[in-house]
Amino acid sequence: MTNRPGRLKIALLTHSTNPRGGVVHALELANALAELGHDPVVHAPDVTGAGFFRATRCATALVPAQAVSGALEDLVRQRIAEYTDYFRPSARRCFDIYHAQDGISGNALANLVEQGSIAGFIRTVHHIDPFTHPDLVAWQQRAICRAAEVLCVSRMWRDTLRLDHAVAATQVANGVDVEHYTPRSDASDQLLRTRLGIGVGPVFLTLGGIEQRKNTVATLEAFTCIRAQLTSAQLVIAGGASLLDHGTYQRRFEAALAHSALTSGPGQAVICTGPLPDAEMPALYRIADALVCASLREGFGLVVLEAMASGIPVIVSDSEPFTEYLGAGDCLWVDPTSSASIAGGMLAALEPARREGLVAAGRLVSKAFSWRVSAEAHLEIYQKFVARIPVANGHRCDQRTAERADA
């Protein structure tokens, strides 16, 4: 059925080429699967033609996609259609496993199942969005319930799926690349410091851009208190590529920034970088004194592991999913609904003795999470899935056939 006995051809589908947690998960999982001797291909819609946000070691396939100027439901509807159309030619359906990482690709695979083009698919739920538009709600539910196997990255979401959606999900851990994220400084650190205008600090880093679930306004309010005491402190807000419209919340952030009287821009108190090249991310962590991750809702929080591997303390919400894999002494717990609590955590991260303990604990935590271990767990699920669904998942093909179909 496959190229060689035991060797699986795996289609991993994600919603974007941008640096989001689910995209990183798909790419890192694919790298590890390839190193274990399998044939993963990560798929994503590509509007610009620029491809993924970073160079990839695994094989990739870019799904042609058009820009959408309408509402989110219009964009999602079009992306589902584009994904479905991409897999319509039988030459592209050459995989043993189809594994969706999001609702868009999950709905496209559900379409293919209903059309009889594939036998079934696996879905990983990273988090569930609180949509209100009926189409978005329905698509999100369909992408979960039509999957033959559902995975998730934390106990919290496993329990949510069971209680709210009557879905029995299997929890599979995330990982972190401790060779990529390391405390060892290099020339890129100073280059980035100069470009961003980083001064003597202290420097607090928050990732994910300006979003409500990232709790950016409360983080800014906490930083405003810190800045009143430490006049050289800087807050770096990096990332922010998203399909969702965060305009209302971003305007709220701008109002809070104006009220704080803090200046923003390179070299200023608040630095909003937007998405950065992946090659600069290790240096970004290292030039920070601490990561602030006071999120209101997370799937897992990959940035926490990346920061820990990079040798900086982390300040996190005292809630799931963080409490699942972090214990006393691993991090600084804060109440995400209290800017005073967040500010207290930021100050505590600067205390030399406490900082030393947090850095040491963080390195141990990060080393416990391996993408290879995650890939091995996925393979066990994949192999059982293939055995359970003996009907061919589309038509097997070799790489040359797939390349001809993409031409």
CATH topology of domain 187-367: Rossmann fold (3.40.50)
At 328 the pLDDT is 87
pLDDT in tens, the chain (407 residues): 344 458 999 999 999 998 888 899 999 999 999 999 999 999 999 999 889 988 888 999 999 999 998 899 999 999 999 999 999 999 999 999 999 999 999 999 999 999 999 999 999 999 998 899 999 999 999 999 999 999 999 999 999 999 999 999 999 989 999 999 999 999 999 999 999 999 998 999 999 888 888 899 999 999 999 999 999 999 999 986 666 666 788 899 899 999 999 999 999 999 999 888 888 999 999 999 999 999 998 889 899 999 999 999 999 999 999 999 999 899 999 999 999 999 999 999 999 999 999 999 999 999 999 999 999 999 999 999 999 875 545 444 443 334 434 44
Fold match between 9-175+370-406 and 187-367? yes
Looking at domain 9-175+370-406, its CATH class is: alpha beta
Q: Where are the domains of the chain?
A: 9-175+370-406, 187-367
DSSP annotation of 264: B
Residue whose C-alpha is closest to residue 358's, from 394, 399, 330: 330
Contacts of range 82-89, beta carbons closer than 8 Å, 24 or more positions apart: 82/45, 83/13, 83/43, 83/45, 83/107, 83/108, 84/108, 84/111, 84/112, 86/43, 87/112, 87/117, 87/118, 88/117, 89/405
d(CA 140, CA 214): 21
At 396 the pLDDT is 42
CA dihedral of 19, 173, 236, 310, whole degrees rounded to 10: -110
- Conformational region of residue 403, where left means phi above 0, alpha means psi within -120 to 50, and beta covers everything else: alpha
Judge whether 215 and 298 are in contact, CB under 8 Å.
no
d(CA 241, CA 279): 16
At 241 the pLDDT is 61
At 69 the pLDDT is 86
**Which tokens hold the place of 229?**
């005491």
Whole-model pTM? 0.87
